[in-house]
Amino acid sequence: MASSMLSLGSTSLLPREINKDKLKLGTSGSNPFLKAKSFSRVTMSVSVKPSRFESITMAPPDPILGVSEAFKADTNELKLNLGVGAYRTEELQPYVLNVVKRLEALASFSSLLLISFIHFLNRMASFQAENLMLERGDNKEYLPIEGLAAFNKATAELLFGAGHPVIKEQKYVATIQGLSGTGSLRLAAALIERYFAGAKVLISAPTWGNHKNIFNDAKVPWSEYRYYDPKTIGLDFEGMIADIKEAPEGSFILLHGCAHNPTGIDPTPEQWVKIADVIQEKNHIPFFDVAYQGFASGSLDEDASSVRLFAERGMEFFVAQSYSKNLGLYAERIGAINVVCSSADAATRVKSQLKRIARPMYSNPPVHGARIVANVVGDATMFGEWKAEMEMMAGRIKTVRQKLGKDWSFILKQIGMFSFTGLNKAQSDNMTNKWHVYMTKDGRISLAGLSMAKCEYLADAIIDSYHNALLYWETPIEL
């Protein structure tokens, strides 16, 4: 029987506090009616029976992870996977952040010296943290529902800056450890559904593909605000402001803190001020998705400036954080949801409700990633090394953009992991079918999946795709 340290004991009557609305048959429920056949046999013999899942259809492959599957199946040796937003080294292996101290220890492995040290010196600050954890003999008891306290403190400080009034004594911000960015967004979406009935979320056009899935499954209505301008391959600022202005008062505006996914286009500081103005004017609620802090410019503080601007304004707002990219902790699923409130009392109430949402979803969050982050950020030496690694990785991405971008000046204006090439679907298909370059169908490439050596190959592929895959589409970009 599943239970936890925080288990609720038993419930033998109808549970209290059940939202009666939830008892209605849920979601879209578009299943054809299938009467379950009653089983007349009572013996143990095995036989083919009708399945009660017979009417289930095959779900479409995931648009992003599905790209990786197609890539894996491709046997061509020139193939490139630029689909998934995960950092790759020059040798296109997943990169685990390097820590200078480990360099000395690992140098004793003579075979490692033969191969590029970025690939083999793949120990990050987290390696040190993990070993520290092992040495200390940390136990594996359940975390509280809100997660590791040391992590929650560290993550809020990283976001707002240590000593910022909004997190002083952790009073005004409700911070809950979440399952990376996705899980944190989902907790917030569930809170919105419960307490902001009818409010909708505005998401950028385009935005990360999973955003709408999250809001759909949480039953929160959403619509789009203009963002990407295909003519300039830049920000449609006028459209963005107009759409935000037009939204019903009290809407949630989903903003990417930095390194917009998928376009790589961020508002300038001046534009951020105007965005804050219009949001305040319409009493909207900002909802930041911060998945790349430090990864965009190389500076943690600079990348948090948009969020901090809003905090300065005394606004109440939401921020989802992820440590998947900047600490390379993708698979540990570590992130947080922060709700900046106007009073300590509100923060307490909000925190209690977020816990109430997390408990029937997964009870309490995983401890490992939280400890790694808390240890890295909490240790001055390790944190300093981490910041240096950050700057190195972000710098590499900038270099790749520069090398790729001789004729692609718009790319230089974009920052972060992704570049929106402006290729349409037919052109993207040509990239894959002819050149074995895998990218998502919206023309997005992950520059972190690109090595210096492959830049020329990619440039050739892009040029060819533009000219030769052109169908009945809008004007291609002039090269």
Partner 1 sequence: MSSILSNVLPAPEDPVLSVIFACRDDPCPVKLNLSVGAYQTEEGKPLVLEVVRKAEQQLANDLYCDKGYLPIDGLADFNKFSAKLILGDDSHAVKENRVVSIQCLSGTGSLRVGAEFLAKHHQQRVIFVPNPTWGNHPFIFTLAGLSVEYFRYYDPHTRGLDFEGMLEDLGAAPSGALVVLQACAHNPTGIDPTLEQWEQIRQIVRSKGLLPFFDNAYQGFASGNLDSDAQSVRMFVADGGECLIAQSFAKNMGLYGERIGALTIVCTSEDVARKVKSQLLLVVRPMYLSPPIHGASIVTTILKNSDMYKDWTIELKGMADRIISMRQQLYEAIQARGTPGDWSHIIKQIGMFSFTGLNEKQVRMMAKEYHIYMTYDGRISMAGLSSKTVPQVADAIHAAVTRIP
Report the residue number, 96 or 300, with the smaller CB distance to partner 1: 96
Cα–Cα distance for residue pair 411/417, rounded to 1 Å: 11
Return the range that interacts with partner 1 (CB under 8 A); candidates 183-191, 254-262, 267-275, 384-392.
183-191
Report the residue number, 14 or 380, with the smaller CB distance to partner 1: 14
Report the residue number, 39 or 472, with the smaller CB distance to partner 1: 39
Burial class (CB in 10 A: 0-12, 13-18, 19+), 332: buried
Q: Would you say 254 and 201 are in contact if contact means Cβ atoms under 8 Å apart?
A: yes
Structure tokens at 423: 């290729």
- Which positions from 243 through 262 interact with partner 1, judged by CB under 8 A? 250
Q: How many residues bind partner 1 (CB under 8 A)?
A: 125
Cα–Cα distance for residue pair 299/383, rounded to 1 Å: 13
Residue 73 is a binding residue for partner 1 (CB under 8 A): no
Which residues on adjacent β-strands are paired with residue 253? 202, 286
Shortest approach of partner 1 to residue 185 CB, angstroms? 9
- Which positions from 39 through 58 interact with partner 1, judged by CB under 8 A? 39-58
Structure tokens at 12: 């033998």
Return the range that interacts with partner 1 (CB under 8 A); candidates 191-199, 227-235, 413-421, 442-450.
191-199
Report the residue number, 421 or 444, with the smaller CB distance to partner 1: 444
Cβ within 8 Å of residue 149, ≥6 positions away:
none
Residue 12 is a binding residue for partner 1 (CB under 8 A): yes
Q: What does DSSP say about strands 444-446 and 418-420: parallel, antiparallel, or unpaired?
A: antiparallel
Shortest approach of partner 1 to residue 35 CB, angstroms? 7
Q: Which of 222, 236, 266, 325 is catalytic?
A: 325
Report the residue number, 179 or 455, with the smaller CB distance to partner 1: 179
Residue 449 is a binding residue for partner 1 (CB under 8 A): no
- Which positions from 315 through 344 interact with partner 1, judged by CB under 8 A? 316, 324, 328-333, 339, 341-343
Report the residue number, 52 or 231, with the smaller CB distance to partner 1: 52
442 is catalytic: no
Cα–Cα distance for residue pair 306/325, rounded to 1 Å: 19
Tracing tokens 């609620």 back to the chain, one arrives at 285
Residue 76 is a binding residue for partner 1 (CB under 8 A): no
Cα–Cα distance for residue pair 78/461, rounded to 1 Å: 11
Return the range that interacts with partner 1 (CB under 8 A); candidates 156-164, 216-224, 236-244, 380-388.
216-224
Q: Would you say 106 and 120 are in contact if contact means Cβ atoms under 8 Å apart?
A: yes
Residue 195 is a binding residue for partner 1 (CB under 8 A): yes
386 is catalytic: no
Give the amino acid at 188.
Answer: A
User: What Å distances lie between residue 414 and 3, 37, 410, 419, CA to CA?
Assistant: 48, 58, 7, 7
Shortest approach of partner 1 to residue 302 CB, angstroms? 26
- Which positions from 406 through 435 interact with partner 1, judged by CB under 8 A? none
Rounded to 10 deg, the angle between the 455-468 and 380-404 helix axes is: 40
Residue 397 is a binding residue for partner 1 (CB under 8 A): no
Whose CA is closest to 395, among 314, 304, 298?
Answer: 298
Report the residue number, 69 or 238, with the smaller CB distance to partner 1: 69
403 is catalytic: no
Structure tokens at 336: 């947080």
- Which positions from 78 through 117 interact with partner 1, judged by CB under 8 A? 84, 86, 94, 96, 106, 109
One character per residue 365-394, x = contact with partner 1 (rule: CB under 8 A): xxxxx-------------------------
Q: Which of 289, 355, 408, 454 is catalytic?
A: 289
Cβ within 8 Å of residue 189, ≥6 positions away:
201, 214, 215, 218, 220
The H or E element spanning position 201 is: strand 201-205
- Binding test (CB under 8 A) with partner 1, winner from 71, 81, 83, 127: 127
As annotated, the active-site residues are 208, 289, 325
